[in-house]
Amino acid sequence: MNQTLKDHTFQSGQKLELAQGDITAETVDVIVNAANLHLMHGAGVAGAIVRRGGPQIQVESSQWVQEHGPVTHAEPAVTLAGNLPCRYVIHAVGPVWGEGDEQVKLEAAIWGSLQLADRLCLKSIAFPAISTGIFGFPQSLAAQVILSSIQDYLTHRPTSSIKLIRLVLFDQETLQAFIKVWEQDDYFGA
């Protein structure tokens, strides 16, 4: 079981949790994949999702791109979850560090994922640290953008169907960066 290290409940009753573990083991309604714009899931979080979830996820992803074209930051794709313990996978494209407007693009990926989960009337969602792996987004800055984007979304959408958002981080370095930002910037109280 993934270990929850931080949590915050908003006035609306919606909850945000920060956990260490494997996102592919999450029993939420939907997990978010840190994807590329062509949904070719080879390495990192995307590779782990397909390895555990099965080839159906890549097949559905390729079909999605054939029908809709490359995925944008603001409009993620969704597939069924195959053998994963969740129902769906939202494939969000985060920015590559150095391409410009990275913070705006990461915020769009978070908001787009939450909006899609709302359109699907889902109650729980888990995010990885989008763009902090091979895309090179600095972890501390990503933590600031992701935490503030979630806070802004829930503040503006208190009647959202989403009742639980989990940030599930695999490695200690990323986890510590997120904890430090959570505590130093006092997003939700230490």
Residues 19-56 have pLDDT tens digits of: 999 999 999 999 999 999 999 998 889 999 999 999 99
Percent of the chain with pLDDT over 70: 96
pLDDT per residue over 139-185, tens digit each?
A: 999 999 999 999 999 999 999 999 999 999 999 999 999 999 999 86
Q: Which CATH superfamily is domain 19-184 in?
A: Leucine Aminopeptidase, subunit E, domain 1 (3.40.220.10)
Three-class DSSP labels, 138-178: CHHHHHHHHHHHHHHHHHHCCCCCCCEEEEEECCHHHHHHH
Which residue has tokens 């979304």? 153
Mean pLDDT of 89-107: 97
Domain range list for the chain? 19-184
